[in-house]
Amino acid sequence: MAVSPAMAAEKAVGLFPACYSIGSNLLGAPHFDVRLLVDPVRGKVTGEGEIFQAVSPPLDIQTELLGAYKSGKIANEIKATGYPDIDWPPQAGIGPVIPSNVELRMLLSKDNQSGAAIYGYREGFDDFKFVGPVPATSIPCFE
């Protein structure tokens, strides 16, 4: 049996997928798609995301997300930090220190279907650029 975000919101069950389309849908505005696995029992989220914008120069930021999930009486909250995905060979040691490239904060309805998000992104070592609050809408994870 598949567990939907709405079913998982009603009672703490194991892992469930949660995917969101985050953005205002205005022409030229940045857009953030996230694909998460939520563990409500432990209060953790993990997943990946992509921020894109079709302007010149175009924006395309890939990120690996790690964070927290908090279920409340009225709303649910997701806070996550993203890091660029790098291919670092295991035999090469612990690797370089990589600064985060995304910050995400979402406040969702009790059924996890919609809400609002504020997110920030940066390219390289630039300062974070923040977007929001913008709508966050649940989308199918598996198509």
Render pLDDT for 76-132 as a digit per residue (tens, 0 to 9): 999 999 999 887 777 877 777 788 999 999 999 999 999 999 999 998 788 999 998
> What are the backbone angles phi and psi of residue 115, rounded to the nearest 5°?
170, -155
Per-residue model confidence (pLDDT) at position 125:
80
10 has pLDDT over 90: no
- Beta-carbon neighbour count of residue 86 at 10 Å? 9
Q: How many residues does the chain have?
A: 143
Element (H, E) at 46: strand 44-53
CA dist 102 and 124 (Å) reads: 11
Across residues 61-71, what is the average pLDDT? 96
Q: What percent of the chain has pLDDT over 90?
A: 63
Answer for the pair 22, 119: CB distance below 8 angstroms, yes or no.
Answer: yes
Look at residue 1 in the predicted model and tell me its pLDDT.
44
Alpha helix stretches (DSSP H) within the chain: 5-10
